[in-house]
Amino acid sequence: MITIAIANQKGGVGKTTTAVTLAHGLALKSFNVLLVDLDPQGQCASALGMDHDDGVFRLLAMDAPLRDVVRSTRRPGLWLLPGDKRTKTAEGIMVLERKEVDTLATVLHQNINGGLHYIVIDTAPSVGGLQENALYAADMLIIPSAVDHLALEGIASVIQTLRAVRRTNLPPMRILPTFFDDTTRESKTNLEHLQRHFGDLVLPPIHRATTLRECPALGQTIFEYQPKSRPAEEYARLVWEVINVSTA
């Protein structure tokens, strides 16, 4: 089982879109996938056309069994551990109870539905116990980053947190440029800036697209809404990158 954390300490970079789309893309390749929503906004459920639920709170603050808080997305091979505003309360309780940084990894390794191949974790942009737990649990880290002038700052912050949490044995890492617009000099310049700093860790960009903004309102992923569109093709490349890295 491979755990993939989607993280950045800067908001508005496409973390939830990336987490939901990657999770569904892996499920479409016949893997069993659990999507975990650690963001108190609970937008993973919305993106999949589901109601918000306090599953993360019950799992981490009330010690509910994982099987009792995981919900079917009605998509073959894809399950959701949903979160809502009570997720922030769960984080506070974990701090008060001085729970260790491996807490999330421990509870997620409970066996469900005959075994999982992948766990994809969506994190909030704020630094804290839950993001640190997600980074500790990660077998792979994907950092979505809008191609703007603050991109390096957000990436550097999450890498710094990863190193503080893991110290050694860092997981494979990839940077996913998002909201790329190849008609503007700014996008091109900032993408080149990322590539100079991080080299082969930078993946091909996800272009800015109206279809990606439309998906959440419909409760569909891009693979359902516009499976032959450019964003679908670009996210399919990410899916294959994850498969190739995790099976190498």
Residue 142 DSSP SS3:
strand
Provide CATH code, domain 2-247.
3.40.50.300
Would you say residue 148 has pLDDT above 90? no
Q: What's the whole-number mean pLDDT along residues 142-153?
A: 87
Average pLDDT along the chain: 93
pLDDT band for 11, please (50, 70, 90 cuts): confident
Q: pTM for this one? A: 0.95
Q: What's the whole-number mean pLDDT along residues 218-225?
A: 97
pLDDT band for 109, please (50, 70, 90 cuts): confident
pLDDT band for 126, please (50, 70, 90 cuts): confident
Q: Kindly give, in sequence order, each residue whose CB lies less than 8 Å from that of residue 192, ignoring residues fewer than 6 positions away.
A: none
Instruction: Tell me the torsion sign for CA atoms 109, 85, 124, 97.
Output: negative
Q: What's the whole-number mean pLDDT along residues 30-55?
A: 96
Q: What are 236's two structure tokens?
A: 């399919």
CA of residue 149 relative to chain centroid, distance: 22
Give the integer Cα–Cα distance in Å for 241 and 248. 11
Q: What's the whole-number mean pLDDT along residues 215-235?
A: 97
pLDDT for the residue 9:
86
Please answer whether residues 207 and 231 qualify as being in contact, where contact means their C-beta atoms are separated by less than 8 angstroms: yes
Pairing relation of β-strands 2-6 and 140-146?
parallel
Give the integer Cα–Cα distance in Å for 134 and 140. 10
Summarised one tens digit per residue, pLDDT across range 55-95 is 999 999 999 999 899 999 999 999 999 999 999 999 999 98
pLDDT for the residue 196:
93
Would you say residue 136 has pLDDT above 90? yes
**Residue 36: φ, ψ to 5°:** -110, 125
Would you say residue 233 has pLDDT above 60? yes
